[in-house]
Amino acid sequence: MTHPPATPLPHHTVDGPEDAPPLLLGPSLGASLAVWDPQLPSLARHHRVIRWDLPGHGGTPIGVLGDHGPAPTTTVPGLARLVLGLADSLGVDRFAYAGISLGGAVGAWLAAHHPERIASLALICSSARFGEPTGWQDRAALVREAGIGPIAEAAASRWFTPAFAGSPQATALLDAVRRSVAPAGYAACCDALAAFDLRADLARITAPTLVVAGLADPATPPAHARELADGIADVRLLELSGAAHLANVERPAPVLAALLGHLAAHPDNGPVATAVGAPAPHPAEGTAQ
């Protein structure tokens, strides 16, 4: 007889060879794990790829956050604990991690606070602080009152450049916002973004890190990526033209190439020291493609 885990797990998929190095992929706010579809086939050739959904997104029920009454809430550390619980349930100790936006924030927090678990890190259109908390608090209140509709209407201008917003790939992701995102889950994740500020802890990240920015990203502008690169010791910075917030969807080929190169250059070589000193100057590469 099997028993459910003591802690609820986020919905997830596993692709690739069972014995390959594990790679966890985190999604952005408002998107499901399908946001990684452009990169999945290539990444799964040589990695055990584990994708997961945020609470109230895709296949993850809002109940993973526990009983918080009519307005559940969460934090980035709380989301990170869900990810560690998922990794533990799959027998994964150390893993490479790549995340988009909020999914990237989860990986950055894990790299800063659980460096022994993170073999390498990739942050796609993410940030150490996602703007003023009041903006996220207002968005959470709007979604709790009016539902996901107003957010879905505005998503295209944040996620994609005008030239890409009408593409089949963009349309599919935008349509999925209404179908697969629960207002309570979206609002709870807004709460997490409102409270998130990792700027003082960036020097604690010792994992080799790739930071990718979309030069046309209005949600996490290139300055956010440069702040991450300035604070992390072992880092490469890639800035992509012709890309807004979901750069891996709009510019899938250069993002995939950067990820494959990063993962190949930094295989898991075992546990790392947890002591962290002052960051060294980083060898950032500002490469617009």
**What are the strands of the beta sheet with 48-52, ordered from one edge?**
12-15, 48-52, 22-26, 95-100, 118-124, 209-214, 235-240
Check: CB of residue 67 under 8 Å from CB of residue 92: no
Q: Are strands 209-214 and 118-124 parallel, antiparallel or unpaired?
A: parallel
- Residue 8: pLDDT band by 50, 70, 90 thresholds? confident
Q: What is the mean pLDDT of residues 79-106?
A: 98
Q: Which residues of 69-98 are buried (b: 16+ CB within 10 A; e: fewer)?
A: eeebbbbbebbbbbbbbbbeeeebebbbbb
Closest among 39, 24, 72 to 256, alpha carbons compared: 39
Looking at residue 275, what is its pLDDT? 36
Q: What is the mean pLDDT of residues 63-71?
A: 81
pTM of the model: 0.91
Q: What is the mean pLDDT of residues 44-65?
A: 97
Check: CB of residue 74 under 8 Å from CB of residue 191: yes
Looking at residue 269, what is its pLDDT? 62
Q: Judge whether residue 55 has pLDDT over 80.
A: yes
Q: What is the mean pLDDT of residues 216-235?
A: 98
Check: CB of residue 30 under 8 Å from CB of residue 58: no
Check: CB of residue 15 under 8 Å from CB of residue 44: yes
Check: CB of residue 247 under 8 Å from CB of residue 255: yes
Q: Judge whether residue 281 has pLDDT over 90.
A: no
Longest dimension (CA), the chain: 54
Average pLDDT over all residues of the chain: 91
